[in-house]
Structure 1
Amino acid sequence: MGASSFSAGRADSALARVDARVKVLLLLAYTAVLFWDPHPTVVAASFALLALCIRAAGLRARAVAATAKPVAVILAFTLCANLVSCDGTAPVRVLGAVGVDLARGARGLMAVMRIVLLIGFSLTVSASTTPVELGDAVVRLMRPLGRVGVPVPQIGSMLSIALRFIPVVADEFQRIQRAQRARGVRFDEGPLRVRIGRWAAVLTPLIVALFRRADRLADSMAARCYADGSRCQVPSRSLGPRDRVVLGMGIALCVALVLCSRFAL
Structure 2
Amino acid sequence: MLSNGSLHAARAPEGPSDASLQPFAGDSAMGHASRGPQAFGTVFGEYVPGTPVARLDARVKIVLLLLATAGVFSAGVPAMLVVWLLILCGCLASSRMRLGRVLRGIRPVAVILAFTLVANLVSCDGRGTVELVGAIGLSPAGGLRGLMAITRILLLVGFSLVVASSTTATQLSDACVRLLSPLARFGVSVGPLGTVLAVALRFIPLVSEELNRIRLAQRARGAQFDAGPLFSRIGVWASVFTPLMIGLFRRADRLAEAMSARCYDSVAAGKLPAPRRLAPYDRLVLALGAALVLVLTILGLCW
Q: TM-score normalised by the shorter chain: which range applies?
A: over 0.9
Aligned match of 1:225: 263
The answer to whether structure 1 residue 117 and structure 2 residue 155 are counterparts is yes
The answer to whether structure 1 residue 71 and structure 2 residue 109 are counterparts is yes
1:152 to 176, 187, 190: 190
Cα distance in 2 for partners of 1:29, 1:4 equals: 25
Cα distance in 2 for partners of 1:250, 1:74 equals: 30
TM-score normalised to structure 2 length: 0.81
Root-mean-square deviation over aligned CA pairs: 1.8
TM-score normalised to structure 1 length: 0.92
The answer to whether structure 1 residue 207 and structure 2 residue 254 are counterparts is no
Deviation at 1:107, TM superposition (A): 0.8
Deviation at 1:187, TM superposition (A): 1.4
Cα distance in 2 for partners of 1:39, 1:145 equals: 37
1:154-210 per-position Cα deviation (integer Å, ceiling 9, x unaligned): 111111111111111110111011011101112122334433332222222222221
Equivalent residues in 2 for 1:83-232 (5 A)? 83-230=121-268, 232=271
Cα 1:95–1:124 change in 2 (3 A) is same
- Kindly indicate whether the alpha-carbon contact (under 8 Å) linking 1:131 and 1:160 is maintained by their aligned counterparts in 2: yes
Deviation at 1:221, TM superposition (A): 1.6
Equivalent residues in 2 for 1:3-82 (5 A)? 4=42, 6-7=45-46, 10-82=48-120
- Kindly indicate whether the alpha-carbon contact (under 8 Å) linking 1:38 and 1:258 is maintained by their aligned counterparts in 2: no
Cα distance in 2 for partners of 1:44, 1:74 equals: 21
Query: What letter matches 2:177 in structure 1?
Result: V
Query: What letter matches 1:90 in structure 2?
Result: G
Paired residue total? 262
Aligned match of 1:238: 277
Between the aligned residues of both structures, percent identity stands at 49
Cα 1:53–1:204 change in 2 (3 A) is same
Report the 3-state secondary structure (helix = DSSP H, G, I; strand = E; otherwise coil) of the residue aligned with 2:131. Answer: strand
Cα 1:95–1:198 change in 2 (3 A) is farther
Query: What letter matches 1:238 in structure 2?
Result: R
Cα distance in 1 for partners of 2:145, 2:59 equals: 33
Cα 1:205–1:88 change in 2 (3 A) is farther
Aligned match of 2:26: none
Cα 1:27–1:174 change in 2 (3 A) is same
- Kindly indicate whether the alpha-carbon contact (under 8 Å) linking 2:74 and 2:297 is maintained by their aligned counterparts in 1: yes
Report the 3-state secondary structure (helix = DSSP H, G, I; strand = E; otherwise coil) of the residue aligned with 2:137. Answer: strand
Cα distance in 2 for partners of 1:68, 1:207 equals: 27
Structure 1: which 5+ runs fail to align? none
Cα 1:223–1:241 change in 2 (3 A) is same
Cα 1:74–1:194 change in 2 (3 A) is farther
Aligned match of 2:289: 250
Query: What letter matches 2:125 in structure 1?
Result: D
Structure 2: which 5+ runs fail to align? 1-38
Cα distance in 1 for partners of 2:204, 2:261 equals: 24
Deviation at 1:37, TM superposition (A): 4.2
Cα 1:168–1:61 change in 2 (3 A) is same
Query: What letter matches 1:222 in structure 2?
Result: S
- Kindly indicate whether the alpha-carbon contact (under 8 Å) linking 2:116 and 2:150 is maintained by their aligned counterparts in 1: yes
